[in-house]
Structure 1
Amino acid sequence: MPATGRPVEDLLRELAPQVLGALVRRYGHFDTAEDAVQEALIAAVGGWPRDGVPANPRGWLITVASRRLTDLLRSEQARVRREDTVAGWALPEQWHAAAADQPPVDADDTLILLFLCCHPALSPASQIALTLRAVGGLSTAEVARAFLVPEATMTRRISRGKQQIRDSGLRFAPPIGPDRADRLVAVLHVLYLIFTEGYARTAGPGLLRGDLTAEAIRLTRLVHRLLPDDPEVTGLLALMLLTDARAPARIDANGELVPMAEQDRSRWRADQITEGVALISAALPRGVVGPYQLQAAIAAVHDEAPSAAATDWPQITALYEVLLGISDNPVVALNHAVAVAMSRGAPAGLALLAELAEDARLADDPRLPAARAHLWELVGERTAARDAYRMAAARSTNLAQQRYLYARADRLRDGPPAAD
């Protein structure tokens, strides 16, 4: 461990985007700079535990990565003119000394790097992969494992993303004007997708990926530190903290899913709930309320309820109705229908879900039949509920969710319970 007591791996993950930002700012060549930084990180992992962490680890990494970058550029560009240009980029020794002694030139490099990785020219899959690799500091193998694809597939995905950045001629600079707001929306969306994949993974045997949720929270904290007055950044961080607070109670000792109404709330993380509630309480009065703030407010109402029965469903319903007014999202509409059922009665919720059955965006989504099954069960329509649970299970690609849904269906297969 470093003298500070922090593990080397944690320090390197924090420094990785700063080092990459410094290199791209000075030299461009995002794709080659990213490879050079990865090699510098590998050198640090191999040497620092043995030799000790340098006095200025950031400067050490920039120096090593810069030297490696010039080597990579020289080997890739064989023509004399390019060789001469690259040779001119070689850093003088006095710069190496300065790099080790000076603080970061621009604290916004991490945010600029996020803007670059989340550029709309890239596909969502490439945005996520590049963000986790370049800003999160994860290896290609780690990113591949997170999304259950072969490492070779993820290598190609990351390479395509870096190629698109190189071909686009994008400058390493913060976007300005209206483009900045649009790009920030893309950054927050990518971080939200990373978190949701960790909290309810779309495929695979388990339900949770704690490493992904932790990484999403860490990166969102970085953005919040850089943009502390942005209410939607604050809202997203609050939403993640309030949602992740329930994770310890979300699966039982056998790894099976436990619905919120049946969770042991004493296992929820009180510190995260306190922080999340404080964040959203501070963000809401700042002006225009966005979707992340509203979702965080809904999560706060859930988390502050002492029991499932004490949940303030009318307030949650009202918040979803505000959210529906600014978001054409079928999942929001589905959640609103469930809230209506809990606050105004299951038949009212079922009527709204019947309307959603016509939405093509939910055609293959397991959440719609799962919600209908739950509400049919509440009104005593056991056969309809059982069939809907089975339909939801068939649509799910996550094994833990499948097991839960089939178990709910099996519980209803023998008909109504005997009368007392």
Structure 2
Amino acid sequence: MTDHQRCPVTLPHRLDPGGANQHGVNAGLREHGAAVPIVLPGEVSAYAVVRHEELEEFLGDPAVAKDSCHFAALHAGELPANWPLTAFATVQGMTTADGDEHRRLRGLVTKAFTPRRVEALRPRVRERTEQLLDQLADTASAAPDGIVDLREHFALPLPLGVICELLGVDPTHEKRLHELSHDIVSTAATPQRAKAATQEMYGILSQVAADRRAAPGGDLTSALIAAKEEDGDRLSEEELAATLLLMIIAGHETNLHLITNAVRALSGHRDQLALVLSGAVGWDAVVEETLRYDSPVSFFPFRYPTTDVTVGDTVIPRGAPVLASYTAAGRDPLAYGPDADQFDITRETDVRNLAFSHGAHYCLGAPLARLESTIALEMLYARFPDLTPAVPEAELPPHPSFIGNSTHTLPVRLTGGDEAR
């Protein structure tokens, strides 16, 4: 499918757990209005906000909460047993807290992501990137056809390694933590698999916390254990484990998709790649346009109106679960013009993309994500300017989730050859 094509949808729309054709579906949903009724796995009714202006307003609305105490169907016992999305609603941490509780939890983490602290990570990110590029070249050289999965061997280990090092997680846990993260955010996973993955990940991270408590270091986990507010309040054991889980998942899944999506977009727009390689356009522009054009997060759960809320022409009832569709908002022609579905790193706009959310729950890790992805892309193409996809874009399998947005693999040739388009 091309960027111009849309997928006609009927309402309520059933979200595909496999994450197929997200942009085509989004185009069809936007035609129905700013907010639309949807059906989640398990036949759970919900809503999605799909237009930029209304989504920005919704994310900043004080009448909209994150705490699942406002989730009407949950407390009425109307959700199916072993519902696969339960953890997104009930996990205890920043993503499901409001007001003073949210400020308390966020305040204990914020200091790790100040611009100065993030900038201090630049040399280490560059060092890790250089090491991975060496390994990438070796892997491609060892392959009979010279093809290497850029997603598996570069886009994944860079952000995963950085966030694990930041948290003081032993590198031996990295592979398993990604596998568990994948099962947790994959809406195509069975409820039993998602639940088991969540429990195992909590177990690993609880042990990490115990190790850091016994032998504190200069890592963020040790700092979180020691951190306390002015009144002496600290993170509880459950809050600490939930915070680590959130940071591991968000700290690598988002950038895994962002780097993957940027390479895919540049591969399909060689003229724009030439612009950035010539220095006419900066790599930061590539990152920002990718965040808008192909957001790494698609339908993100959950928010709940604490009173009936009108979004566009749709009244969303109190207590209904609502998903924020960042991919749909990113290509909204009402916000970005008639060419909103075109990738253009020279785009001039005053409209800020919502890929890292908005309001009180704006992503704390956004500065680190931007730093990592900018360095990754710049160094990748400096080493391999002739990098080309090994299979056509249309043949890449989607990442199996309607929460994350990317492809499941990205086979490439590092030294050019016949480009697959």
Scaled by the length of structure 2, what TM-score is found?
Answer: 0.28
Greater strand content: 2
Greater helix content: 1
Q: 1 or 2 for the larger relative contact order (CA 8 Å, sep ≥6)?
A: 2
Scaled by the length of structure 1, what TM-score is found?
Answer: 0.28
